[in-house]
Amino acid sequence: MTAERPTYVTHLECSARGERYPADTLHQLSRAGKPLLVRYDLARLARDWSRDDAEARPADLWRWRELLPVRRTGDIVSLGEIETPLIPIPRAGGARVLVKDEGRLPTGSFKARGLVMAVSMAKALGVTRIAMPTNGNAGAALAAYASRAGIETVILCPEDTPEANVREIALQGGRVWRVNGLIDECGAIVAEGTRQGRWFDLSTLKEPYRIEGKKTMGLELALQLGWRLPDAIFYPTGGGTGLIGMWKAFDELEALGWIGPERPKMFAVQAAGCAPIVKAFDEGADHAERWENAHTIAAGIRVPKALGDFLILDAVRKSGGRAIAVEDEATLQAVSDAAGQDGLLLCPEGGATLAAYRQALAEGWVGAGNECVLFNCATGLKYPMPSVTRALDRHQPIDFDAL
């Protein structure tokens, strides 16, 4: 591959006011304090690139390079980002329920998509130190990619972050600190350090490029389904980068002429113990208030306040979808059912999407004949599992009937 590759980035744009900002310059938020979005010359790209061109390439994240922001091949910091499979779960879900299993990605979660793009762009723009709050998987992905790029990282996580995540971050080179607070309180410490000029803040939506990595979920989904979209998508929603990114991807694909105007119903799935988007959706609000005393077993969606709340709510409403809150008990049951009935080990956040699908089916928000895609955002191997106490003494008679 050559050092330079075709790129169609034109500028960055404030997601709230539409103000333009130059590309190839280091940015955090817009002057309005809102996320910046990468914009492309889609008319020119439509003339230069086709669906056949995309399909002919290796099935990985980088097959979409014309719709991604990294200009120089040498700036790409890759750990082998594959196209993740769609797995049917006919027993636990239904005949037309598919799970997009993001646990197959590097570091075992969909956070790899956003962080490979953000770190590659940080490298391209000369960043040498990054800080970020995390509930676990994002910190693990940042540590891995930044270490590969030679970038120093400081990562803050709530003190009850899953132990596997904390150790993974440390082993992959991140300076990880446990904080006696939630992720937004970790983020406040990161923000203060940023104001002091100590590091670049890679928090969710505080730079433009994690969205671009996450939008590849939507690009892949369209290709895998033969250039159409499912009837509904159930997405575990904390910061909501992936939901926002997929909605952006669908608009870009339509502008290229690769799909039509039809959109899936977007279901933002939250835990009942931390459901600020659900509350705002139910109240008809454009922004979500901070959720106090947030608690759930699904740590990845325990985000009391999302910077991109208005973008999440806008996508959900325009799609005809909903924001759904599920109880932890339903999430645990869904994880158990998918594993025991269909052999697919979901993470708690993935289990929440199955629980939400069941709720949506019961309420009539989707039908049994609808094609629905659930996002399992990480491998279930990272999370605690029920203990097993049954044992055999090989020196005693074996009760084979009991076995």
CATH code of the domain made up of 111-201: 3.40.50.1100
Q: Which pLDDT tens digit goes with each residue over 293-343? A: 999 999 999 999 999 999 999 999 999 999 999 999 999 999 999 999 999
Q: Is pLDDT at 195 greater than 70 in this prediction?
A: yes
Matching CATH topology for 86-109+209-382 and 111-201? yes
Average pLDDT, the chain: 96
Say what the pLDDT of residue 4 is.
59
Instruction: Give yes or no for a contact between 206 and 185, defined as CB atoms under 8 angstroms apart.
Output: no
User: What is the rounded average pLDDT of the residues 256-276?
Assistant: 98
Whether the per-residue pLDDT at 215 is higher than 90: the answer is yes
| Residue 367 DSSP SS3 | coil
Residue spans of the domains in the chain: they are 9-67, 86-109+209-382, 111-201
What's the rounded Cα separation, in Å, for the pair 251 and 261? 8
- The pTM of the full predicted model, rounded to 2 decimals, is 0.95
Tell me which amino acid residue 176 is. V
Q: For 62-93, what is each residue's pLDDT tens digit?
A: 999 999 999 999 999 999 999 999 999 999 99
Confidence (pLDDT) at 7: 79
Residue 86: which residues within 8 A CB-CB, separation 6 or more? Answer: 98, 99, 100, 101, 221, 224, 225, 373
Q: What pLDDT is stored for residue 153 in this prediction? A: 98
Contacts of 370 (CB under 8 A, 6+ apart): 96, 230, 231, 232
Alpha carbons within 13 angstroms on the beta-carbon side of residue 122 total 30
**Any idea what the Cα angle at residue 171 is, between residues 169 and 172, rounded to 5°?**
65
pLDDT band at 49 (very low <50, low <70, confident <90, very high): very high
Looking at residue 280, its pLDDT comes to 98
pLDDT in tens, 344-381: 999 999 999 999 999 999 999 999 999 999 999 999 99
CA distances (Å), origin 320, targets 252, 254, 281, 285, 309: 20, 18, 12, 16, 17
The CATH number assigned to the domain with range 86-109+209-382 reads 3.40.50.1100
pLDDT, tens digit, 9 for 90 and up, residues 133-190: 999 999 999 999 999 999 999 999 999 999 999 999 999 999 999 999 999 999 999 9
- Judge contact between 146 and 152, C-beta under 8 A: yes
| Residue 1 in this model has a pLDDT that exceeds 60 | no
Looking at the chain, the whole-number percentage of residues with pLDDT higher than 90 is: 97
Digit-coded pLDDT (tens) for 89-124: 999 999 999 999 999 999 999 999 999 999 999 999
238 pLDDT higher than 80: yes
Q: Collapsing DSSP states into helix, strand and coil, what is residue 36?
A: strand
